Amino acid sequence: MNKRFTLFLLFLALSIGCATAQVTLIPKAGVTFSSYTFERFPEQREEETYKPGIVAGVALNLPFMKLPWLSIQPEINYLQKKHIYQTFATIPIGPEVEISFMEQKKTLSYLEVPVLVKATVQKGNWYGYVNAGPSVGYAIAGKFKMGDHESEYDFSQSNRLELSVQGGGGVGLTLGSGTLLLDARFSLGLTHLEKEYTGPINIPGEEAWTPTVHFDADQKSRVLSFTVGYAFPLSAIDSK
């Protein structure tokens, strides 16, 4: 984790250092559709769907001096990642028992800092672009709901820091002194979101047992996001 985070910071510093000072500011907002890979027991099964949330943030676009079509775009974004699941698990102790767990809902709020490499083509007033790069996020808050009971999310068994890779693209249209942008992006989590957990499991008619459950076996985030933004050069602000 520390090695990946150090490489991310190095990439950020080198990227900004290589770019020109012609900065474009891009405030934006939109929606997310998130899901998690999830496994607690070897034979667990569950239904997965992408759940909607919100995203808002700001980006700085810095074109390279000699390659103006290529740029570095660091961002800072607030976004929600949601997960709703109904799980069933077969526990192999004596006679196999399938347990149905109550529906659980998890909503985590993150601050994320992606650093994207962006390639842009222009035709008249229209723009098209693709982008990709690493991102680091930190879970600042969370809610957990089971049945009718809702509580603050307990991060004691979770990794708040999350590394991911993002990729996507979009279109832009010159509007006034700036550009209206429509962006679509997919984020693939690289960090195990949960830590190893050991706790008792009680089954009626069976002796209580305490397994070691590897929550982090395959629990990573997947996020689709769609945003609307407006890019305008900072020089337009300075000239006013």
Beta-carbon neighbour count of residue 72 at 10 Å? 24
Note down the domain range covering 30.
21-236
- The tens digit of pLDDT for each residue in 63-98 reads 988 788 899 999 999 999 987 766 555 555 555 555
Share of the chain above pLDDT 70, in %: 66
In a domain, 3, yes or no: no
- pLDDT at residue 227 is higher than 80: yes
Residue type, 183: D
Beta-carbon neighbour count of residue 32 at 10 Å? 23
In a domain, 5, yes or no: no
Structure tokens at 56: 């808002």
In angstroms, the CA 185 to CA 164 distance is 12
pLDDT band at 5 (very low <50, low <70, confident <90, very high): low
In angstroms, the CA 93 to CA 201 distance is 11
- The tens digit of pLDDT for each residue in 85-140 reads 665 555 555 555 555 556 778 889 999 999 999 999 999 999 999 999 999 999 99
- The tens digit of pLDDT for each residue in 19-35 reads 555 789 999 999 999 98
pLDDT band at 42 (very low <50, low <70, confident <90, very high): very low
Could you give the number of structural domains in the chain? 1
CATH code of residue 80? 2.40.160.20
- Can you tell me whether residue 55 is helix, strand or coil? strand
Question: What would the mean pLDDT of 179-206 be, rounded to a whole number?
Answer: 76
In a domain, 16, yes or no: no
pLDDT of residue 109: 94
Q: Which residues lie below 8 Å from residue 161, measured CB to CB, with a gap of 6+?
A: 1, 5, 136, 137, 138, 191
In a domain, 168, yes or no: yes
In a domain, 4, yes or no: no
Residue among 187, 182, 175 at smallest CA distance from 129? 182
